[in-house]
Every structure is written in C-alpha cells, then in structure tokens.
Structure 1
Amino acid sequence: MWLSTGGCALGPYRADLVETYWRWEQDPAVLVGYGRQSPESLEARTEGMAHQLQGENIRFTIYDTAVERPVPVGVATLLPDHGVRTAEFVIMLAPEARGRGLGTTASRLTLDYAFHITNLRMVWLKVLAPNLPAVRAYENAGFRPAGTLRQAGYWLGKVCDEVLMDAVAEDYTGPSVVTAGL
C-alpha cells in the first residue's frame, strides 16, 4: 500500500486484477454513474489494460483495510495535464464498498497524493447531478462545486446536467498522510 488511513488505502493498479476491475465497470450503478449506455467485453477491457499500464495517467487500486486482509474495492484515477499541472479525477467503487465512506477517504488520499507528491495545483471532476451520494462524498473529500454543464449527461435514460467540481492545493484541508511522515 502506498497511502493508508481510516480503513482505506491506495496501492498499485494491477494487471492481475483486470477481471475484477471489469466486473466493477459492468455494474449497472457504475454504468449509470458514468452515463454509459453499453457494457464492455472482458476482451476489450484486457486490451485496454495494457495501454493503461503504459500511459501517463495515475491509477490506484483502492483497498478496504478495515478487514483482516486488505481487499481491493475500487479504482481511483488522475488524468493529468502536465502542461498546466491539473488533473481530472475519476473513481469507481465495487458495489459492496459503497455507502461506507471508502469513496470519500479514497478521494482524500488521491488529493493528498495529487497535491503533495505530483504537485498538481488543481484537481477537477464531473459528476451527474442526480447522483447526490457521490456529490456529497466529493464535497466531504474537499471538492467544491465549480459549475454546471447543462444537459451533458444521462441518468437512468433521461438527460441530466453534469456538475463540475474542483479542489485546489491551497484549499485542501484534509489531513496529509504524505506530509505526516516528513
């Protein structure tokens, strides 16, 4: 594990977990949350994994560490734009991990990494407006509403707005696991 706190940890993105990641991505709640209408084959996902492991994006496996042996429960990704030191944030949790605060904690750990290791100045995300549990989790992690993309997404087959949220380094108020050991 690279960063850990409060029953949650971030560790390496792993090729041996491709089928697990794929299973989570095919969960109807994830498809709805991403606004996707169609699932992806395991073969296509496996091909994409090789590309992801070689890319410049920063990917973490999220672990539940409140159990006897850490269990993978999700993925957090930073899609950086190194030219302006910003990144888009994307997170996905397994169905069994939702509603327990792991998304909020993993988001905080990812922001900690982004601001204290990668030296990003801003991290942003898009979330479908009707996904109120996700909006609350992001706010609890330190993201703030930054605007709305009107009619930019789909939620349960209906057009909806997407909310833009951001976090900037100087406003990051979460306790830092990174700097605590320095």
Structure 2
Amino acid sequence: MTDSPILGAVLAGGRSSRFGSDKAMACMGDGRTLLDHAVAGLVPHVARVVICGRPGGLPDRPAPDMGPLGGLNAALHHALAHGFGGVLTTGCDMPVYPASLPAALVGPEAAILKGQQLLGWWPATLAPDLDAHLAADNVRSIYGWIDRIGARVVEMPGLVLPNINRPEDLRIFTPRFPE
C-alpha cells in the first residue's frame, strides 16, 4: 500500500447508450442506485471518493465526453493537487468492489484487474503523462493508455464481477439485493 492517502474515483461520465438511460441512476433492488453502490464499494479503502464526469462531480479533463480517460485524468489531477498518493477507480456500472482488490492493485506502478480495466490503481504522478496521452492523436481508448504506461495486470482467479451495461444485466443482478 502507499503511505499517502488514497483517492477513490467513480468514473461515471459515459453516455449509457447500451443501457438506454442514465445507468448510474438506475436503482438496484435495495433502492440504491448503481452509483451509490460504486461509491459504497470504494469508501472503506480510501480517504475520500469523488465522482467524475457528472454534474456536481469532477468534470472530465481536458474536455467533456472524453470517456473514462477524461474522468481518470480529472481524478489524477485532483489527487496530485490535494496530496493523495494515487487513485483507486471503479466504474459507475460496477456495483461490487471486492475488499481484497486494493491490496492487490496498490503499488509503485499503475495496475488494473484483468478483464475490468476500470478497476484500477493509478499513481497521482501519472497526471502529466495522461495529459500528454490525451493531447496526442490517438483513439483515447483506456486500453491504449494501459499499454502506453505498462500497467500491471492483476489476476484474481475465480473472481466474477457484475458489470451492468444493459437493462437486462441489471435485472439479472438485482435479485441479489432483496427488497
């Protein structure tokens, strides 16, 4: 782990095109939204949680509608400016955050969970590098960023996490939360 405080960031700036409406505000069977669940998953592991890419949260950086990298860039700059050592991220469509994940991710270099690139650890010192990446002529894919910085890929065999991209994904997962 790190000696500096850790910032948690929920990347919530997507357009929810596959979902058909604002999936961050979709309610689970327990009456809480997907966004509420994402925040609650990070809270035990971080000093503070920010929401990126939504009104009232950190705006994407350097411009709106940058996808997950715009939210991550905003979080990295916020972390750097406020004395956080790095950022643990999750997506607003990830209602489960495993308690064992931070210990596996946090280290001297960036790391992601295999198959879930939004579940990651990003040292705050990467902020200028992400600025340069976003300024370059590229696809702005999170995969391109991960490759560029050589992020460590963490495997957790047997771990299956729900990712809510469509209304049917929410219907399948919701029974786990009784009314």
Scaled by the length of structure 2, what TM-score is found? 0.31
Q: Which has the higher strand share?
A: 1
Higher relative contact order (CA 8 A, sep 6+): 2
